[in-house]
Amino acid sequence: MVVVFWGKAGWKIGPGGRPAASTAPRIYDWGGDVHGAYMTPWYAMWAQRYMHEFGVTSEDLAEVAVRYRYHATLNPASVMGRRGPLTVEDVVSSRIVSSPLHLFDCAIDTDGGLLSNTHCGIPHSLFTVEVARQLRGECGERQVPGARIGLSLAQGASVHGYAGTLIMAID
Digits of tens for pLDDT over the chain (171 positions)?
444 444 444 445 455 555 555 565 555 554 555 445 567 787 888 899 999 999 999 999 999 999 989 988 888 878 888 899 999 999 999 999 889 999 999 877 554 444 444 455 454 566 788 889 999 999 888 899 999 999 887 765 555 566 678 899 998
d(CA 40, CA 75): 25
Q: What is the DSSP letter of 141?
A: G
Q: Are 100 and 44 in contact, with CB atoms under 8 Å apart?
A: yes
Phi, psi of 98 (to 5 degrees): -155, 110
Give the CA-trace dihedral at 82, 88, 93, 94, to 10 degrees: 40
Output the pLDDT for position 155.
Answer: 65
